[in-house]
Amino acid sequence: MSEKIEVLLFGLGAIGSFYAFILHSCPRVRLTVVARSNYSAVKENGILLKSANHGEHRFHPDRVIHSLSELTSSPSPPFDYVVCTNKAIDVDDVARSLAPAITAEKTTIVIIQNGVGNEEPFRRLYPGNEIVSCVTWVGAHQPTPGTTTHTTSEATQIGLYQPINPAQAESALSTLITILRAPANPHPTPLTPLSPAALQLTRWEKLMWNCAWNTLTTLTAQDCQAWLQSSEDALPLTRRLMREVVAVAHASGVELPETLIDAQIAKMQGLGPVRTSMQTDREMGRRMEVEVIIGVAVKGARRVGVEVPVLETVYALIRAVDSLVGKL
């Protein structure tokens, strides 16, 4: 590893901008960001983060590129980490497109995304590279290109995905945890290291959360609280949907605890009028994370032969809503 830790961050939406800030807080990191829709704004003005926890900061990543092909025309030192904070859509295509940034057996791939199974396309394409998997509970949105507003909601669970060379993988994870904890940052971001199995369980926990709240708010144009109060059928339906996710997890060998259903509902009831990322995507006419949020549960159910009529219904409806994008 060179003196500087070379990090490429792919996907500079709200979540990406938040982690760019965290990574940039570490002086050892040399940060390259791939900005796509917001390239001009970020290239010119850097990233403005307005965070309830971290205060207001405008910062400039070391290098801002528009597309991965710039890495070929103007090479940089090999990356130690490629961090994916892009919206989890077309995951196979994205994994393929990252090839210019990934050095075999050197680059650690870091996935900070919704969903279950997002690691698989990377493992298939880059069988010699270690993968770090993260679940994020950061609440942020990007009202204008290059400007991100962050709430007080902030937590990252982090762990290895099926390590190939365990010693090397542990070392890469440990370095990453050190830089994410960015000692120079007066308010370090909460980070919970987990075992590979515990991290996958956490992915399922967040999948259950997203499966319910994202889809139900998107289909009804209600925030989570208003949805729950919309009729006496809303809460039982939410529970039933979550029970189906638990059944799929169990049949897939993941011991998602049944008690999580009540815990997640109680948590949501305490949060006030929460809106979801999928709902915002629909309203903005953007493609939604259909497959990693709901498709993965439905396809998992079909694979293991579990009946999930509520998930099936919601999945077909969400696919129809998503199919409108670009046609309106």
Binding site for a copy of itself (CB under 8 A): 216, 219-222, 226-227, 230-231, 233-234, 236-237, 240, 309-310, 312-317, 319-321, 323-324
Min. distance of Cβ 247 from a copy of itself in angstroms? 13
Question: 56 is written with which tokens?
Answer: 């207001």
Min. distance of Cβ 315 from a copy of itself in angstroms? 6
Min. distance of Cβ 73 from a copy of itself in angstroms? 39
Min. distance of Cβ 238 from a copy of itself in angstroms? 9
Q: Are strands 81-84 and 5-10 parallel, antiparallel or unpaired?
A: parallel
Q: Are strands 55-59 and 147-150 parallel, antiparallel or unpaired?
A: unpaired
Write down the residue that tokens 């290098």 correspond to: 63
- Rank residues 120 and 312 by Cβ distance to a copy of itself and give the closer one: 312
**Encoded amino acid at 130, one letter:** E
Q: Where are the beta strands (DSSP E) in 52-122?
A: 55-59, 63-65, 81-84, 108-112
- Rank residues 174 and 231 by Cβ distance to a copy of itself and give the closer one: 231
- Rank residues 216 and 261 by Cβ distance to a copy of itself and give the closer one: 216
Q: Are strands 55-59 and 47-51 parallel, antiparallel or unpaired?
A: antiparallel
- Helix (H) or strand (E) run with residue 320 in it: helix 309-323
Min. distance of Cβ 185 from a copy of itself in angstroms? 41
- Rank residues 280 and 313 by Cβ distance to a copy of itself and give the closer one: 313
Min. distance of Cβ 313 from a copy of itself in angstroms? 4
Q: State how far the Cα of 20 lies from the Cα of 24, in Å rounded to an integer.
A: 6
C-beta of residue 142 within 8 angstroms of C-beta of residue 175:
no
- Rank residues 45 and 323 by Cβ distance to a copy of itself and give the closer one: 323
Write down the residue that tokens 């994205």 correspond to: 94
127 closest CA partner among 155, 156, 150, 161: 161
Min. distance of Cβ 303 from a copy of itself in angstroms? 16
3-class DSSP assignment, residue 32: strand
Q: State how far the Cα of 284 lies from the Cα of 300, in Å rounded to an integer.
A: 29
- Rank residues 87 and 282 by Cβ distance to a copy of itself and give the closer one: 282
- Rank residues 48 and 298 by Cβ distance to a copy of itself and give the closer one: 298
Q: State how far the Cα of 256 lies from the Cα of 202, in Å rounded to an integer.
A: 9
